[in-house]
A and B are shown apart, each in its own frame.
Chain A
């Protein structure tokens, strides 16, 4: 079981990757920068479970918060409005900007 890489409050970017197969990371978050809200837990990877692979490694799962103004070009609401998404660690990289 891997040690979680990210901590609450840390800025992270969702990888702008578009692999085939069963993926839970929504398209609307790919390439976007958000903030780690919390570590939701360490779960088995649904990308493997979907294909009957039950003995793969568990992966840290984070609740990542994105500003709506980051996700959508013309968001019409409070600039603090946000979306929180459960994202697996292998989809995230630290945003050093």
Chain B
């Protein structure tokens, strides 16, 4: 064992990092709501906890059920929010519409205007989804953008980009990979990642070896 003095690079505490104007206003609003008794601190905390608990595992569960049960998939395509409730997923009040990939059409979602995202099924959106680069390029050159994510589509497949410009959010139901015929629903769900449900990746069959 040796014991030499060495310094660790100092990482700034949260309080020493710059706060933006909007962060200050959000904090002030939160404190005022609690101070004036509009909501309690516990209600605030619970609300954030619910939002933070949303994750792509929810969407993956929905997709796995679609793969296992074609009649469920029909209901998902008809009314995604209602079908999600059948499997105890409360995706909230914003309408989410599921779009199915086929051998002929590969779907990708974006919100060019801001970065609307199906958070009710996928949780927090990734930073790249919010970037100007993604928002402006994926409608203009989707194949180049997908290639940067390591996803290459044959030229015969139509790439269809969905720009959520109104109040609806979209989510992609990827195609079920080959070699998954004997999988349970939870094994199927493990193949489905966030990026597959945005459309920049395709599901992989996880090796069990």
Chain A residues within 8 Å of B, Cβ to Cβ: 24-26, 28, 40-41, 43, 46, 61, 65, 71-72, 76-78, 80-88
With beta carbons under 8 angstroms apart, the residue of B143, B164, B165, B168 that contacts A77 is B143
With beta carbons under 8 angstroms apart, the residue of A28, A81, A86 that contacts B160 is A81
Give Cα A25 to B143, complex, Å: 24
The verdict on B82 contacting chain A, using a C-beta distance below 8 Å, is: no
B166 touches A80 (CB 8 A): no
A24 touches B166 (CB 8 A): yes
Task: Looking at the assembled complex, report how far the CB atom of A49 sits from the nearest CB atom of chain B, in whole angstroms.
Answer: 10
B166 touches A43 (CB 8 A): yes
Whether A82 touches B140, Cβ cut-off 8 Å, given contacts A24-B113, A43-B166, A88-B166, is no
Give Cα A40 to B143, complex, Å: 27
Per the CB 8 Å criterion, the residue count for chain B at the interface is: 23
CB pairs A–B below 8 angstroms (10 shown): A26-B165, A40-B168, A71-B139, A77-B159, A78-B156, A81-B142, A81-B159, A84-B163, A85-B165, A86-B166
Task: Looking at the assembled complex, report how far the CB atom of B150 sits from the nearest CB atom of chain A, in whole angstroms.
Answer: 18
Chain B residues with CB under 8 Å of A61's CB are 166
A84 touches B161 (CB 8 A): yes
A77 touches B166 (CB 8 A): no
The verdict on B157 contacting chain A, using a C-beta distance below 8 Å, is: yes
The verdict on B95 contacting chain A, using a C-beta distance below 8 Å, is: yes
Closest to B110 in A: A83
A78 touches B157 (CB 8 A): yes
Closest to A62 in B: B166
Chain A residues with CB under 8 Å of B162's CB are 83-84
Give Cα A40 to B168, complex, Å: 9
Chain A residues with CB under 8 Å of B97's CB are 40
With beta carbons under 8 angstroms apart, the residue of A46, A76, A80, A85 that contacts B163 is A85
Closest to B161 in A: A83
Closest 4 CB pairs of A and B: A86-B166, A80-B158, A81-B159, A83-B161
With beta carbons under 8 angstroms apart, the residue of B142, B157, B160, B163 that contacts A26 is B163
Chain B residues with CB under 8 Å of A28's CB are 112, 139-140
B165 touches A43 (CB 8 A): no
Task: Looking at the assembled complex, report how far the CB atom of A58 sits from the nearest CB atom of chain B, in whole angstroms.
Answer: 12
With beta carbons under 8 angstroms apart, the residue of B139, B155, B166, B167 that contacts A83 is B139
Give Cα A55 to B172, complex, Å: 34
Interface residues in B86-119 (C-beta closer than 8 Å to A):
95, 97, 112-113
B158 touches A78 (CB 8 A): yes
The verdict on B141 contacting chain A, using a C-beta distance below 8 Å, is: yes
Give Cα A43 to B143, complex, Å: 32
Closest to A77 in B: B143
Task: Looking at the assembled complex, report how far the CB atom of A62 sits from the nearest CB atom of chain B, in whole angstroms.
Answer: 10
Chain A residues with CB under 8 Å of B163's CB are 26, 83-86
